[in-house]
Amino acid sequence: MPTLDNLRIAVIATDGVEEPELAEPVRALREAGARTELLSVKPGQIQAVRHDLQPTQKFAVDKTLDQADPADYDALLLPGGAVNADRLRMEPDVQSFINEINDAGKPMAVICHAPWELISSGVARGRTLTSYHTVQDDLRNAGATWVDREVVVDGRLVTSRRPDDIPAFNREMLKLFAAARRVSGS
């Protein structure tokens, strides 16, 4: 397993986040030595769900987006969930954060419906990625190439389709974040 000792990873989510798409990648990052911070548009806690929208656990927010500086992070994780991604995609602070991470050449890991946030931030155009199947038309309309694979790596961006793909997503996310660390010297 790649080592990510002390790499700082921003995780952006809100109510309606798909629980395994938040919990399992964060666990993999922490097991590899990374430090994760959950950022949201509101303080306190966010309510996770399963795909059927059944509430599961709540997660404590470490900072609100207006308190976080993208320059303080080495990478970004965007978990999915239709409600989560739809709420976040229209938030100017989310769009700004994603753009700053992208412009700095930092890696991003994005799963399920979260590519909506890439579309709204203007960073999907020209990229090859995957997502939950219902997002494919939106990605194509935004100028991206959509493929139906469990995981896709395009430069410093890794995308995946759904919770079943999390093992492949985590594997590629860890490799991508470790490779970016070697390049940046973090």
Sheet hosting strand 35-40, strand order edge to edge: 63-64, 35-40, 8-12, 75-78, 108-111, 157-160, 151-154
Catalytic positions, please? Answer: 112
pLDDT on residue 180: 78
pLDDT category, 75, cuts 50, 70, 90?
very high
d(CA 168, CA 152): 10
pLDDT tens, residue by residue, 90-102 = 999 999 999 999 9
Domains and CATH numbers, the chain: 8-181 (3.40.50.880)
In terms of pTM, does the model score above 0.75? yes
d(CA 89, CA 91): 6
